[in-house]
Amino acid sequence: MQGGFWGKVLTVNLKSGDIGTREVPDELVKRFLGGGGIVAHWLLTGFDNGFVDPGDPLHPDQPLVVMTGLFVGTPLPTACKTTFGGKSPQTGIWNEAIVGGYFGQKLRAAGWDGIIITGRAEDPVYLWITPQGVELRPAEVYWGKDVYHTDEHLREATHPQAQTAVIGPAGENLVKIASIMIGGHEGRAAGRGGMGALMGSKHLKAIVVQGDQKVPVVDRPGMMAATKDVNARLKVEAVGLNRFGTAGLVQGNEASGDMPIHNFRHGRFVEGAATTCGQHILESAFVKNYGCFACAIQCGKVITIQSGTHQGEQSHSPEYETAAGFGSNCLNPDGNVVVEANDLCNRLGLDTISASGLVAFAMEAYERGIITRKDTGGQALEWGDGEAILSLVTAMAYRDHIGDLLAEGTRKAAQVLGQNAQEFAVQVKGLELAYHDPRAFPSMGINYATANRGGCHLEGLTYFVEGGAFPAAHISYAGPLDRFDPDVEAKTDLAVRMQNLMNVLNALGLCKFLIRGKVSPAEIAHWVTLVTGWELSGEEMLRIGARLHTLKRIYNVRNGISRKDDILPGRLLTHNRGGGAEGSFVHLGKMLSTYYRMRGWNQEGIPTEETIRELGLEAEAGLS
């Protein structure tokens, strides 16, 4: 290929200290574009060198693969996303934690498309990458330090413009919901699925990159023109994200029944939403906007912390998921507590969705007497109590008292606690559900049940279409747009189409919010041509999306996943939450059968041989 990837990734064996190169052939890019697809291909085909999955996600041989999206490093709108892929320490299945910021761009500017990390270092190390060379350096002095401290000191020790991917104490302590944090104070997180624990298990504290090389592009003037055009559209279409950030959606989502309340139990949180929403937080604390590399939206917000230990310091404003998680879902109406909890998670290196889900789970267990003060070091866990929220977050990162169990994730914690804890364990395949309630958008129900990494909303943002933020015609969806329409066939079709599109965006390194600019798949496919010279249509590109989704499913099937796991938590299937989603339920059984048919999987959720051949995944599925 004449443009796009450099065609090589870095290989690092932390045990032997060996550093090498692995080729990224054009054929792989044409089949999977980039990012997680290429990671899954390598994992399934054993890197062509006889690698056998040792099973345990924290086994030293288990690879952590960093892979940029195809467009990362180009100025194409929102081209910043990088995948941290591999087997999730939390769920034991496929995981790709995808993150924005400037790390991916720096990695491409250092001349690499990605990094394959294997083995476990004897003592803590960090990886220092520049176009001039790659070095493993001792990191004992940073071990135990938080993310902000480590980021600052590593940039002092290397290069002031370097970008860091760092784990905090949570990752070091193998906390299963630990994130990998990008850009220190900027608080960008490869959050979901516990990739911080995978990195911690390798005794790798950080990856630091600096570079100045330009990614090769075939038609640079054409690409610049396309970029200018879409950026102008994004400034108009995504003005809400620009002004208030994702947390600006809190009140709307509360009203529509989309935002979970009281551990997904209840329907309304009107006053609390008004004091935990982005607008309210920004009113007194706003400092400046933040945008990831190549992004015209600038949905990030830097704020001054208004309370607590770090009062007066700057931090990143909570995203919608975090505001919903530490706000309504914990019945906490205090925006300052949301800000503090978010900042604490970013410092300690914890996924805010899972961390807040676990806090709500623990509060409900406490309410029911399953957890008592004896388990919490004396801390009461009343609903909405800010002190309880903050102390639990810290306890999880350091595995103190009940935090040690919660650090294993909701699924494991519910198993160990027993009694009726499963009743209120809100997770799918071991991953805590994100905060878009599928009862408010039943098309999200089938997405959550079939998303490859578990309870993930990002794999199929159907509420963007039903909520009027992305034209249905762009994905050739002709079914009803009323979110409560009971047409199972149509709503399942919508989920499949959006999953295919999201897989493509991830692989190209584009942000979800690009679609707020109403950019069509045909337009994006044209960018592929501009960058690589390879002719691709929108339809062909979405077909690659279907291939990517089934590819990751094959990885999951190999790890024991089937229909039995494509389930939603009982509370969400059977309990009327009320509010803006009053009386709405997901008809999951019917949707699953329809979904499998549409995907070409059998009724147990296993891709059929015919489908595997049709999608060209024989090598990955082990078919000859």
Partner 1 sequence: MKIQVTLHGHLPWYHPERASSLELELPEGGSLEELLAVLGVPRTEVALVVINDQRVGWDAVLSDGIKLEMFPVIAGGARPARYCQLCATEYVDEGSTCPYCGAPAEDLGEDGDEELATIFHAGDEDEAEMVRVLLEEAGVEVALEPYGVEGEPAGAEGWGLIKVIPAQRERGIEVLETYWDRMGEGPPGELD
> Count of residues for the chain?
624
Stretch that binds partner 1, among 28-36, 112-120, 249-257, 425-433 (CB under 8 A): 249-257
> Where do we find the tokens 């062909």?
540
238 binds partner 1 (CB under 8 A): yes
250 binds partner 1 (CB under 8 A): yes
Q: What does the alpha-carbon distance between residue 620 and residue 42 come to, in Å, rounded to a whole number? A: 8
Instruction: Choose between 463 and 595: whose C-beta lies nearer to partner 1.
Output: 463
Q: Quick one: which of 279, 307, 394, 559 contacts partner 1 (CB under 8 A)?
A: 279
Q: What does the alpha-carbon distance between residue 407 and residue 89 come to, in Å, rounded to a whole number? A: 11
Instruction: Please name the residue ranges forming H helices in 286-436.
Output: 320-326, 335-348, 352-367, 386-398, 401-406, 410-417
78 binds partner 1 (CB under 8 A): no
Cβ at position 577, least distance to partner 1 in Å:
9
Residues 280-309 that bind partner 1 (CB under 8 A): none
Q: Are strands 114-118 and 188-190 parallel, antiparallel or unpaired?
A: unpaired
Q: What does the alpha-carbon distance between residue 175 and residue 470 come to, in Å, rounded to a whole number? A: 37
Q: Quick one: which of 151, 237, 364, 408 contacts partner 1 (CB under 8 A)?
A: 237
**510's torsion region: left (phi>0), alpha (psi -120 to 50) or beta?**
beta
> Where do we find the tokens 């330009």?
214
Cβ at position 236, least distance to partner 1 in Å:
6
Phi, psi of 607 (to 5 degrees): -55, 135
Residues 20-49 that bind partner 1 (CB under 8 A): none
Instruction: Choose between 60 and 252: whose C-beta lies nearer to partner 1.
Output: 252
Instruction: Choose between 20 and 468: whose C-beta lies nearer to partner 1.
Output: 468
Token pair for 19:
């550093």
Cβ at position 425, least distance to partner 1 in Å:
21
253 binds partner 1 (CB under 8 A): yes
Cβ at position 583, least distance to partner 1 in Å:
4
Q: Quick one: which of 545, 569, 580, 605 contacts partner 1 (CB under 8 A)?
A: 580
Token pair for 32:
């999977």
Instruction: Choose between 254 and 408: whose C-beta lies nearer to partner 1.
Output: 254
Largest Cα span, the chain: 66
Q: Quick one: which of 7, 111, 240, 384 contacts partner 1 (CB under 8 A)?
A: 240
> Where do we find the tokens 């032997």?
16
Stretch that binds partner 1, among 96-104, 230-238, 287-295, 346-354 (CB under 8 A): 230-238
Total of chain residues touching partner 1, rule CB under 8 A: 39
CB count in 10 Å sphere of residue 51: 15
Angle, to 10 degrees, between the axis of helix 410-417 and the axis of helix 352-367?
20
Residues 584-603 that bind partner 1 (CB under 8 A): 584
Q: Quick one: which of 239, 380, 473, 623 contacts partner 1 (CB under 8 A)?
A: 239
Instruction: Choose between 126 and 435: whose C-beta lies nearer to partner 1.
Output: 435
526 binds partner 1 (CB under 8 A): no
Cβ at position 423, least distance to partner 1 in Å:
17
Q: Are strands 125-130 and 133-138 parallel, antiparallel or unpaired?
A: antiparallel
Round to the nearest angstrom and report the end-to-end CA distance of the chain.
Answer: 27
Stretch that binds partner 1, among 82-90, 184-192, 246-254, 356-364 (CB under 8 A): 246-254
Stretch that binds partner 1, among 31-39, 231-239, 498-506, 543-551 (CB under 8 A): 231-239
Cβ at position 200, least distance to partner 1 in Å:
35
Token pair for 620:
């990955």
Q: What does the alpha-carbon distance between residue 528 and residue 509 come to, in Å, rounded to a whole number? A: 12
Residues 401-420 that bind partner 1 (CB under 8 A): none
325 binds partner 1 (CB under 8 A): no
Stretch that binds partner 1, among 29-37, 78-86, 255-263, 325-333 (CB under 8 A): 255-263
Residues 200-219 that bind partner 1 (CB under 8 A): none
Q: Is 53 exposed, middle or buried (0-12, 13-18, 19+ CB in 10 A)?
A: middle
Instruction: Choose between 188 and 577: whose C-beta lies nearer to partner 1.
Output: 577
In DSSP terms, 65 is beta-bridged to: 85, 116
Q: Quick one: which of 255, 302, 370, 619 contacts partner 1 (CB under 8 A)?
A: 255
CB count in 10 Å sphere of residue 622: 12
196 binds partner 1 (CB under 8 A): no
The helix (run of H) or strand (run of E) holding residue 24 is none
Q: What does the alpha-carbon distance between residue 501 and residue 524 come to, in Å, rounded to a whole number? A: 11
Token pair for 118:
């294997």
Instruction: Choose between 474 and 483: whose C-beta lies nearer to partner 1.
Output: 483
445 binds partner 1 (CB under 8 A): no
Spell out the SS3 assignment of 276-328.
HCHHHHHHHHEEEEECCCCCCCCCEEEEECCCCCCCCCEEECCCHHHHHHHCH
Stretch that binds partner 1, among 53-61, 183-191, 234-242, 497-505 (CB under 8 A): 234-242
Enter the DSSP assignment of 56. S
Residues 326-385 that bind partner 1 (CB under 8 A): none
50 binds partner 1 (CB under 8 A): no
Residues 448-507 that bind partner 1 (CB under 8 A): 463-464, 466-469, 481-486
Instruction: Choose between 34 and 257: whose C-beta lies nearer to partner 1.
Output: 257
Amino acid found at 364: E
| Residues whose CB falls within 8 Å of the CB of residue 456, separated by 6 or more in sequence, listed in order | 192, 431, 434, 448
Q: Which residues bind partner 1 (CB under 8 A)?
A: 236-240, 244, 248-258, 277, 279, 440-441, 463-464, 466-469, 481-486, 576, 578, 580, 582-584
